[in-house]
Structure formats: C-alpha cells, structure tokens
Amino acid sequence: MFDLFSWSHILILLTVALVVVGPKDLPRLMNMAGKWVGKARNMANEFKKSFDDMARQSELDELRAEIEKLKTDDPIADVAKDLNHDIQRTLNPVDTGSRSAGETGAAPPPPRSGEYQVSESAPPPLAMNEPEPAELGPAEPETATKPEAAAP
C-alpha cells in the first residue's frame, strides 16, 4: 500500500505532525486528510469506471454492427434456400427440359433390351395363391411380347 514510505517514515511524520499541529488539532487534521484520500480514491474509481464504460460501449457498438450485418446478409436464409433447392432437385430429378417433352405428349422411350413391353390390356401377374394359367384359359399372345432385337 505504501510503496514510498516505510513504517519508520510514517512514524516520523506522525511525530512531526503531533509536535507542529499539537494534540488538540491532530484529530481534526487526520479527519481532513482521510476525507482527501477518500475523494482521491473516488475520483480514481470514477476515472476507471468511465474507461470501462467506454470499452464496453465500443464492444457493444461492434456487436450491434455485426448483428446488423447478419440481419442484412441473412446467411441462414441463404443456406435454407440452398438446402430446399437441393432437396427439391433430389426429390424431383426431372428437369424442365424433360418436362417440356412430357407436356408435348411425346411417346415414352422404347424398352431397353431384355425388358418386356406390357400393354395396358395385359392381365396382372399371377400371385402365389392364384390358379395355374391353364385353368384360366388361353392368354392373348400380343399382350406380353418381347421386343425384337435390331439387326446389325
């Protein structure tokens, strides 16, 4: 606390003050010195507090500016829009170019080799518990045909 004075220096100062001021006015002098020290401490604390307030205010201003920037940029909305676009593209792989061909009424693509082309009038496939085809009667040969292989 007292870096400049040691206990011996303080004792010498008190002795000189007692001799110079006298025992009658010494308590009043000590009271006045205590008030001055208190005022000096209060001024130092206010000075420190004002610097802390200015530092806090500058930090708050920086945070406010960053929040305003985030509000204008809105990166979450951009990410959400990108995710929605990716999800829609994944769920609907048909592009607009393919949609225009479907809207014009174009025929479906021919079956690939090894696939059977089934007409709409073909009977549904047999289930495990259904009777044999011989019991149902003659089947139509044109309903399920294998496409002819193209000659090279």
Residue by residue, DSSP assigns 17-63 as HHHHH-TTTHHHHHHHHHHHHHHHHHHHHHHHHHHHHHHHHHHHHHH
Q: Which has the minimum average pLDDT: 26-40, 70-84, 101-115?
A: 101-115
Max mean pLDDT among 43-47, 78-82, 144-148 falls in: 43-47
Q: Is residue 142 part of a domain?
A: no
Residue with the bigger pLDDT between 73 and 87: it is 87
Q: Is residue 59 part of a domain?
A: yes
Confidence of residue 101 (pLDDT cuts 50, 70, 90): very low
Instruction: Dig out the tokens for 43 from the structure.
Output: 């001024």
**pLDDT of 125 strictly over 80:** no
What is the spatial distance between Cα 81 and Cα 15, in angstroms, rounded to a whole number? 83
Range of the domain at 11: 7-67
Confidence of residue 132 (pLDDT cuts 50, 70, 90): low
Residue with the bigger pLDDT between 7 and 111: it is 7
Q: Is residue 58 part of a domain?
A: yes
Q: What is the pLDDT of residue 10?
A: 85
Name the average pLDDT for the chain.
Answer: 75
Torsion, Cα 49 55 56 61, to 10 degrees, reads 150
Residue with the bigger pLDDT between 62 and 4: it is 62
**pLDDT of 106 strictly over 70:** no
Q: Is residue 83 part of a domain?
A: no
Helix or strand holding residue 117 (H, E): strand 117-118
Average of pLDDT values for 119-127?
60
Q: Is residue 11 part of a domain?
A: yes
Confidence of residue 46 (pLDDT cuts 50, 70, 90): very high
Helix or strand holding residue 118 (H, E): strand 117-118
- pTM of the complete model: 0.37
Domain count, the chain: 1
